[in-house]
Amino acid sequence: MFMVAQLKVPGITFIATRLRHYFRNMECQDLQPPSAVRGMQELQRDRFRKSVQVPRLRLPESQVQRVMPLVKKLLLKMEHLHPVRAVDQSREILLHPTPVKNWESLPTEELQKQEVTKEHFSFAELELGYENWSASEILKSVLPAEEEGLTSYSRIGHIAHLNLRDHLLPYKQLIGQVLRDKLPNCRTVVNKAASIDNTYRNFQLELICGEAEYQVVTKENGVPFEFDFSKVYWNPRLSTEHERIVKLLHSGDVLYDVFAGVGPFSVPAAKKRCHVLANDLNPVSFHWLQHNAKRNKCLGQIKMFNKDGRQFIVEELREDLLKRLLTTDTSAYAIHVTMNLPALAVEFLNAFRGLYKVEDLAELPGNVVYPTVHVYSFAKGENTKALVQELAERHLGATLDDSLLQGISFVRNVAPNKDMYRVSFRLSHQLLTTTKEEQLTRKRGAQEEDQLEADLQNSASKVKCV
Ligand SMILES: C[S@@+](CC[C@H](N)C(=O)[O-])C[C@H]1O[C@@H](n2cnc3c(N)ncnc32)[C@H](O)[C@@H]1O
């Protein structure tokens, strides 16, 4: 499902989902909205009315079907405007003024074979109005031409979610109205009111047009979700990343989802018949997570928790994983851990260190396969990829060498110089049975032993010399 739209308007980016025009209407001055609408801050729809001269063929109805293939690429296509119209007893075919300047611009030989002559061709007046332009075209003609326009917005069910730059704030009501008028099934338009810095990562919203109704039904990768967008975290820009992880999973695999939100990893995984343990600290997310598992008929495959991520790791994950390591053939299926809280998740990595005592894992089968952790992180600066690895290693207290590291994948650019990555690595017996501190002490001990050995050899050789 199409979620993030892009507008070609100076501060919004619309990806065209409508039919492609052979000739761009906005490059033809006659087909643009009246120039007087530039700078309008309060939407006055009737100020978009204008009349233009457009070329056309007027034919008896019986000829239209044979002529259409000849002029198909020259038709005038605008919103709510059918290029073939009934006029009295005949039909008019509206043509685009850019390629059709006169009768000679048409494929005259073929038309004449169909008994269409110069007499059938004329220019006549056409009334255009607000309804004939798309949201992108309307906004492009209204917003300041010299500054960046509306570059992007997200669709979450019936909500359009904007992140307006400061220079567009005086136009916010107008932008909201245009989007609500023009976007199919859009009932609510909100602007991001502040950066997401609260614990539950939900956006602070400002209603700019429509109903204050935030309970949405949406689909991601074919899976329906329902939630209150004002109280939980949901970002349609992550749909590809969710899909990548879900594609890694197969029936019978295990997923521990530490920061599950309303379930975009967990619910599709459970639907695939994986065994899922999903957790989120936000009670509202937890509520919708349960709702989505029920709605998607996968309650039998998923256990849900409303705990702090660290507590979830040291209690639920620990116990479930121990049982699996000791009593199942972990080489026969995969175990994954997702940690998508990019501002903080790396700080939870040390919860895996010393999760077990050596004796807990004393009876492991020889072919044991440990879980793969996918931890998400932001990094700001020059070499963001190296930075995230460094961050993950620092918090884990271990080097992610080739035996552990499975990959560092770019997820998305969040802001200039700020990227989001996924660091995927395998847990190991050593990581799970020693704490960071123990490892350090052992390392220091080993270094001291090496030093002692070197000193002894040194003094021994001195004695020989003497
Ligand atoms: C960035 S969202 C990710 C949600 C979902 N996994 C996704 O991919 O869209 C992070 C989630 O972590 C939850 N969260 C924040 N702090 C947490 C904590 N200490 N323990 C568990 N969950 C937490 C938030 O409520 C939020 O739902």
CA–CA distance from 281 to each of 200, 254, 304 (Å)? 8, 21, 11
Q: Tell me the pLDDT of the chain (466 aa) as tens digits.
A: 334 455 544 444 443 333 345 688 999 999 999 999 999 999 999 999 999 999 999 999 999 999 999 999 999 999 999 999 999 889 999 999 999 999 999 999 999 999 999 999 999 999 999 999 999 999 999 999 988 888 789 999 999 999 999 999 999 999 999 999 999 999 999 999 866 567 777 778 999 999 999 999 999 999 999 999 999 999 999 999 999 999 999 999 999 999 999 999 999 999 999 999 999 999 999 999 999 999 999 999 999 999 999 999 999 999 999 999 999 999 999 999 999 999 999 999 999 999 999 999 998 988 999 999 999 999 998 899 999 999 999 999 999 999 999 999 999 999 888 999 999 999 999 999 998 677 666 666 666 666 766 765 665 555 444 3
190 strand-pairing partners: 161, 207
Pair 276, 370 in one domain: yes
DSSP code, position 16: P
The answer as to whether 221 is a domain residue is no
Which tokens sit at 280?
A: 């989120």
Is 340 annotated as belonging to a binding site?
yes
For 281-297, give one letter per residue: b (16+ CB within 10 A) or e.
Answer: bbebbbbbbbbbbebbe
Distance 194 CA to ligand 1 centre (A): 18
The answer as to whether 220 is a domain residue is no
Do strands 335-339 and 254-257 pair parallel, antiparallel, or not at all (unpaired)? parallel
Question: Could you give the 3-state DSSP secondary structure of residue 122?
Answer: strand
* pTM, full prediction: 0.84
Pair 315, 387 in one domain: yes
Distance 234 CA to ligand 1 centre (A): 10
Q: Which atom of ligand 1 has the smallest separation from the CA of 259?
A: 12
Q: Among 80, 106, 131, identify where a domain stops.
A: 131
pLDDT of residue 58: 97
Distance 464 CA to ligand 1 centre (A): 66
Which tokens sit at 78?
A: 């605008």
Question: What single string gives the DSSP state of each residue in 399-436?
Answer: ---TTTEEEEEEEEEEETTEEEEEEEEE--HHHHHS-H
Pair 284, 330 in one domain: yes
Pair 126, 139 in one domain: no
pLDDT of residue 297: 98
Is 280 annotated as belonging to a binding site?
yes
Q: Among 76, 97, 131, identify where a domain stops.
A: 131
The answer as to whether 218 is a domain residue is no
User: CA-to-CA distance for 453 and 464, rounded, in angstroms?
Assistant: 17
Pair 370, 412 in one domain: yes
Q: Give every CB contact of residue 46 below 8 A, 6+ residues apart in sequence.
A: 129, 130
Is 309 annotated as belonging to a binding site?
yes
Mutate to test the pocket of ligand 1, among 4, 230, 231, 233 (most ligand atoms within 8 A of CB): 233
The answer as to whether 444 is a domain residue is no
Pair 248, 377 in one domain: yes
Give me the CATH number covering residue 97: 3.30.70
Distance 309 CA to ligand 1 centre (A): 9
Distance 382 CA to ligand 1 centre (A): 27
Pair 172, 257 in one domain: no
Pair 67, 109 in one domain: yes
The answer as to whether 455 is a domain residue is no
For ligand 1, atom 17, which residue shows the shortest CA distance?
281
Instruction: Kindly state the helix (H) or strand (E) to which residue 324 belongs, with its residue range.
Output: helix 318-327
The answer as to whether 108 is a domain residue is yes
Distance 377 CA to ligand 1 centre (A): 13
Pair 149, 256 in one domain: no
The answer as to whether 12 is a domain residue is no
Is 281 annotated as belonging to a binding site?
yes
Give me the CATH number covering residue 201: 3.30.300.110
Mutate to test the pocket of ligand 1, among 154, 237, 279, 281 (most ligand atoms within 8 A of CB): 281
User: CA-to-CA distance for 111 and 313, rounded, in angstroms?
Assistant: 75
Q: How many helices (H) and strands (E) does the chain have?
A: 12, 18
Q: Exposed (0-12), middle (13-18) or buried (19+): which is 140, by Cβ within 10 Å?
A: buried
CA–CA distance from 160 to each of 84, 175, 182 (Å)? 33, 11, 11
Q: Among 131, 146, 169, identify where a domain stops.
A: 131
Pair 142, 278 in one domain: no
Pair 139, 127 in one domain: no
pLDDT of residue 214: 96
Distance 256 CA to ligand 1 centre (A): 13
User: In sequence order, which ranges of 26-107 are alpha helices (DSSP H)?
Assistant: 61-71
Q: Which domain holds residue 172?
A: 135-213
Q: Which atom of ligand 1 has the smallest separation from the CA of 376?
A: 1
- For the chain, the domain total comes to 3
The answer as to whether 447 is a domain residue is no
pLDDT of residue 15: 38
Give me the CATH number covering residue 354: 3.40.50.150
Q: What residues line ligand 1, using a CB cutoff of 6 Å?
A: 199-201, 233, 235, 238, 259-261, 264-265, 279-282, 285, 308-309, 340-341
Pair 272, 187 in one domain: no
For ligand 1, atom 4, which residue shows the shortest CA distance?
261
